[in-house]
Amino acid sequence: MGGIGSGPQIARKIWVEECLVLSAAALTRRRILRPDFKGTLPLRWWTEDGEVLTEWRVDVLTGVYAIQWEGQIEPIPPGERWPLHSIALVTSPLPWGGFRFWFLCPLLGPNRDGCERRVDKLYLPRGCQEFGCRHCHCLSYRSRNESDRPDRLLRWLHRGLLDGDQ
């Protein structure tokens, strides 16, 4: 009893690197998000090898409401005719002029209230139906979960070798 690995097993969190990512900044650079635009555009995700992982369509609608640009984006998965859900877009002014688009997270937060965090990136983990912020999907970064034990061991050995020289 009590051997290696016999303790409680905690399932690891899903990493953001394992999800499809919608980035407002990337969509703006690709001119998918732009002022006064209404249309449906293709959206592709690529593997690290440069192959198309999946291709979706997005319905985009932006316009001026009050004094800022607002709108919505609706992702449509492959083989579907209708969007999964609608994601609100808002903007913030930039100090050098112009503006930046942000998503409002469409999911319910951990307290079951509307999240509506203003975020640049929304994630779709495998098996989920809706894009949401990393907080609502309880996602983590791979770098936060990787152990630095080998590095610590090397530092400890190095320190021990240096101390042994004296």
Residue 146 pLDDT greater than 80, yes or no: no
**pLDDT number for residue 95:** 92
Sheet bearing 52-65, strands edge to edge: 38-46, 52-65, 68-76, 87-93, 99-104, 118-119
Q: Comparing 149 with 106, which gets the higher pLDDT? A: 106
Is the whole-model pTM more than 0.75? no
Percentage of the chain beyond pLDDT 70 is 72
Helix (H, G, I), strand (E, B), or coil: what is residue 59? strand
Q: Comparing 11 with 46, which gets the higher pLDDT? A: 46
Q: Comparing 160 with 102, which gets the higher pLDDT? A: 102
Question: Which residue in 144, 105, 151 sits closest to 15, CA to CA?
Answer: 144
- The answer to whether the CB of 139 falls within 8 A of the CB of 123 is yes
Chain-centre distance of CA 103, in angstroms? Answer: 11
pLDDT tens for each residue of 18-56: 888 899 998 889 888 888 888 888 888 887 788 888 888
Q: How far apart are CA 32 and CA 135, in angstroms?
A: 25
**For the chain, where are the E strands, in sequence order?**
20-23, 38-46, 52-65, 68-76, 87-93, 99-104, 118-119, 121-124
**pLDDT number for residue 3:** 64
Let me know how long the chain is: 166
**pLDDT number for residue 72:** 85
- Domains of the chain: which residue ranges? 16-161
Average pLDDT value for residue range 131-158: 74
